[in-house]
Structure 1
Amino acid sequence: MRKFTISLLLASLMSLSSYADELRLQDNAPTRYTVVKGDTLWDISGRFLKDPWKWPQIWGMNKAEIKNPHWIYPGDVVVLDTSGATPRLSLVKSNSGHTVKLSPKVRGTVIDDAGILPIPASAINAFINQPFVMEKGALDNAPRILSAEEDRMVLGGGDQAFATSDGSKTTNWKILRPGKALIDPDTKEVLGYEVEYLGEARTIVEGNPQRILITAASQEIEAKDRLKSADETYSFRYVPHAPSGVINGKVISAYGGLAEAGQYTTIVINKGQRDGLEEGNVLAVYKNGGKVDGVTLPDTRSGLIMVYRVFEKVSYALVMQTNRPVNLLDFVRNP
């Protein structure tokens, strides 16, 4: 019986692997496509593939190339080759006229680099430096706002305030507030604490206390809110790809406290680095089928998400495609 069970398991894994490797071309896939400004890797892939997240497979990319892709720029031409057993894409660079294969290339980049991004900049710029998950008490020793110059209770953009100093040379700050605990819905483990992003500030007079100018505010700022260096940079440059291992998780929060998340909304899932997730991983979202007259219905796939920020126990992901709203406790699994 044990051998039979193992055989079934191996057969299932082989079937899953075969399905994951299958490249399904769009019915009207072009043979050539010229990249234009505003395109994304996801958009371009979707022109050729029914499953846009299989972008690395149609390019024949390895893991290093997924993490450090050769950038594609407007004017480059993507060419589809279906002459072999497996369809493949190649690239004609606009400045050379020669067909090239993607290859690893590390280069310093920022989010507004001219190269084609994995996902729309407009969708991720709003979140790229904002979501944080920290351990309990991680902000206890961070500089804090003491009061406004005019003893106002609530602060906003353009206001000045006094704040403590950490003795560093930092002059550009994010304004943060400790938020709710993120709790695993199944194990009840505390996975971390969300930190609310409130805005930005700049030191205008050094000292302890220092005087700061609030340069941007996304919500009301109060005394005791914390400061964290804004000099840290973050750039999402991974290619969309499937996780290397099996992922079974749940949606545990939506950015901004939303009950439902639509396309390009940020959600939080209860899986992170310890579970093998990495930036660029694509997951499918499923809704619980429930029961009708005592009969358990199958879960229904409702969309795709892409992980763009990974912490030890949780990850932030962007809803890429959905045919219905994503809700708390929806399942996330390998696509």
Structure 2
Amino acid sequence: MRKPIIAMILFLSLFSIPPVNADNNLLRSDTPHRHVVVPGDTLWGIAARFLNDPWRWPEIWGFNRDQVKNPHRIYPGDIVILRRTPYGFRLSLEDNEDEVRTVKLSPKIRSELSDTAAIPSIPAAAIEPFLSQPLVIERDGLDNAPYILGSSDNRVVLSTGNTAYISGLPKDKGSTWQIFRPGKALKDPDQKDQIIGYEATYLGNAKAIALANVSTVTITRATEEILKGDRLVPAPKTIFNNYAPHAPDFPVNGRIISVYGGITEIGKGAIVTLNKGQMDGLEMGHVLAIFRKSQDKSLTGELVQLPDERTGLAFVFRVFDKISYALVVQSTHSIKILDAVKTP
């Protein structure tokens, strides 16, 4: 028999939440009775097959977000089944022996190693480059970091495979490094453009091959031109967490203050920067609705503020003190910098 499906960590009983009724607009009108998980699926995508609002999947799984930070361990080949119970609709998983198990909390792990990884909340490839890069720094935060002196052949621009000489590279921080350049200031439009952080520009990776007063490194990856004076920081461990999508249980009123790549029109798949962070209660996995403020002229020619128009959804995947990064997972209209983000 296939390894037991121990799908979630520390789950509460399914009976601890109110029943999900068919008339509360939670379920889609065309929701399937079952879905076979395949490679490439995401928790968000599966939830969208069953629910009008994918972030509300905890209501039908019985998810307690106060205790569970990584609640899903769903693998390709698992079968997600929608069932009607006396307590409302519930989702369960079925293994390949046709044994149905309701998903409950259990402080256990999968009983065997699997050849396939658990499906992520959202497409990992879209955000992976942002998960191990310290994108937000303090003012002058890179001033004391090791820096590139130059190369043996006096190259002006360094790229993948080139050798570079580094000043100030410590011997006790490992051999893998990331290369950054001080970037733009991030301002809060709701606080009179107060600077709330600085965004460092990620340039690539380097590997130390000789440590001395002047150390030698090889550029192992270059995403942009690397120049003399660019700074190095130790490469951190990847911090990818499959935090489940869920709406904040408190009001959020923030704004999009920047977008990766400098584009002005933002759509699905874009990485955006928000002016709210951990100090405002945001956490990885929070889903926020995006709204655009609209104005129009009245018959007298005066500008009239129209009701905010919802234009998309954003999934928060990295949080700093005052700033967060989010992936736009849905867009119905073009999204712009300074558009609002709110609790959906």
TM-score range, shorter chain: 0.7 to 0.9
Give the deviation of 1:65 after TM superposition: 5.6
Corresponding letter in the other structure for 1:309: R
Cα shift readout 1:289-332 (whole Å, capped 9, x = no counterpart): 11322332111100000000000001000000001222100010
May I ask how many residue pairs the two structures share in their alignment? Answer: 312
Give the corresponding residue for 1:228: 233
Question: What is the match of residue 299 of structure 1?
Answer: 308
TM-aligned CA deviation for residue 99 of structure 1: 0.9
Q: CA deviation at 1:31?
A: 1.3
Query: Which residue is 2:15 aligned to?
Result: none
Match of 1:218 in 2: 223
> By how many angstroms is 1:105 displaced?
4.9
Q: Which runs of 5+ in 2 are unaligned?
A: 1-19
The one-character-per-residue Cα deviations of 1:168-200 (angstroms, maximum 9, x if unpaired) are: 241001111111110101212211100111011
- Conserved? CA contact 2:252–2:342, under 8 Å: yes
Q: Which has the higher helix share?
A: 1
Measure how far apart 1:67 and its partner are. Answer: 0.7
Aligned with residue 115 of structure 1, among 113, 118, 123 = 118
1:155 equivalent among 154, 158, 173: 158
What residue ranges of structure 1 are gaps of 5+ in the alignment? Answer: 1-17
* Aligned equivalent of 1:49: 51
Q: Which amino acid aligns with 1:306?
A: F
Please name the residue that 2:206 is paired with.
201
Q: Tell me which residue corresponds to 2:177.
A: 173
Q: Does 1:322 align with 2:331?
A: yes
Tell me how far apart the structure 2 counterparts of residues 190 and 260 of structure 1 sit (CA, whole Å): 23
Q: Report if the CA contact (8 A) 2:132-2:236 is conserved.
A: no
Q: Which residue of 1 aligns with 2:63?
A: 61
The structure 1 segments of at least 4 consecutive aligned residues displaced by more than 3 Å after TM superposition are 83-86, 93-96, 104-108
Q: CA contact under 8 A between 1:79 and 1:92: conserved in structure 2?
A: yes
Distance 1:126 1:96 in 2: 39
Q: Percent same amino acid at aligned positions?
A: 46
Out of 185, 189, 192, the residue aligned to residue 189 of structure 2 is 185
SS at match of 1:127: helix
Q: Give SS of 1:325's match.
A: coil
TM-score normalised by L of structure 2: 0.85
Q: Give the superposed CA RMSD.
A: 2.1
Supply the distance in 1 between the matched residues of 2:85 and 2:223 (Cα, whole angstroms): 53
Q: CA deviation at 1:96?
A: 7.8
Q: Aligned pair in 2 of structure 1 residues 169, 285: CA closer, same or farther (>3 Å)?
A: closer
